[in-house]
Amino acid sequence: MLKRETGAADLVFHALADENRRAVIERLTRGPATVSELAAHLGVTLAATVQHLRVLQNSALVRSEKSGRVRTCRIDPSGLRDAEAWLRHQRTAWEHTLDRLGAVLDDQPKESGS
């Protein structure tokens, strides 16, 4: 696995490890929202919401735009692609390992039940 994919996946998994950040992602799947709307949804301060958004933006899960004094956030799917690539790699490695284990077990002599 490429170092860049692993590092990017680390950022995504770190971001998603927090319940509030997962709640932000879930809310943004329904459409864009302002920072104030997200803070109200989470029930936390604007400052705490901004900190959560910073982590989500650094992991490429969320992007935001500022228009005047209003910052609007939306989902950025590129961060999830890095995590999906890591998970796909892990799944493939485990499937090969389990296939080899199955082949070894199939080659073992059967015990008689007498």
Instruction: For 9-25, write each residue's pLDDT tens digit.
Output: 889 999 999 999 999 99
pTM of the model: 0.72
Contact 56, 29 (CB under 8 A): no
64-111 residue pLDDT tens: 999 999 999 999 988 888 788 888 988 887 887 887 778 778 888 877
Whole-number pLDDT of residue 96: 78
CATH number of 3-99: 1.10.10.10
Please give the Cα distance from 46 to 88 (Å, whole number): 36
Q: What is the mean pLDDT of residues 50-70?
A: 96
How many angstroms separate the CA atoms of 28 and 18, rounded?
Answer: 16
Please report the pLDDT score of residue 47 as a whole number.
96
Exposure of 39 by Cβ count < 10 A (0-12 exposed, 13-18 middle, 19+ buried)? buried
Structural domain spans, the chain: 3-99
What are 35-40's contacts with CB under 8 Å, separation 24+?
Answer: 35/64, 35/71, 35/73, 36/70, 38/73
